[in-house]
Structure formats: structure tokens, C-alpha cells
Amino acid sequence: MSELTKIILGLAIGLSSVYSLLIWSSLKGGKDISIYLIGIAINVLIALWFWYMATRRTGDPQDGMGLGPIMLICGLITILIPLICVIVYFIRRF
């Protein structure tokens, strides 16, 4: 298994567990889950956009720099969205 595949698999398992716990706990407490569904949608859109950028053959946006900066930005956003959802959950909880 390649390093990128391990990273993607770990990220998918982590995001799935975080969002499933947030949604399960919110439904159990009678709270609205729309903010978590929006977070999931944003994460999926970022993943699809990165996949599109990584598989494009022409028009490299970085002019030969590679996908490192784009991967860093997408990774940070992918981590920040669930973190914001967890913060919103604790604010609504208490």
C-alpha cells in the first residue's frame, strides 16, 4: 500500500468516526445535524476538487511546482472543518 493511500485511508476513517459520533450524539440529544451534513459535503467537495487537480494533465496551476501546496491547503481545510464542527457541537451541548 502506498504512502498516499495510507494517508487517505486514515483520513477517511478519522473523518467517518468523528462525524458519526457527532451525528449520533446530536440525534440522541434531539439537536439539529445540518451543520455536520454541510461539513461532510464541504469535505467531499474538497476531496473531489483535489482529485480533479491531481488528475489534470494540462494547465498545471503551479507551473511545475507540483501538488504540494495544493495538497497542504486541502489537507488543512479537511482537518479544520471537522474541528469547527466539534467546537460547534460542544458550544451547543453546554
* SS3 of residue 9 by DSSP: helix
- DSSP codes joined into one string, 20-87: HHHHHHHHHHT---HHHHHHHHHHHHHHHHHHHHHH--S--TTTTS-SHHHHHHHHHHHHHHHHHHHH
Listed as ranges, residues in the chain with pLDDT below 70 are: 57-66
- Chain segment 19-34, per-residue pLDDT in tens: 999 999 999 999 999 9
Q: Please tell me the predicted confidence (pLDDT) of residue 66.
A: 67
Q: Please tell me the predicted confidence (pLDDT) of residue 61.
A: 60
Q: Please tell me the predicted confidence (pLDDT) of residue 25.
A: 94
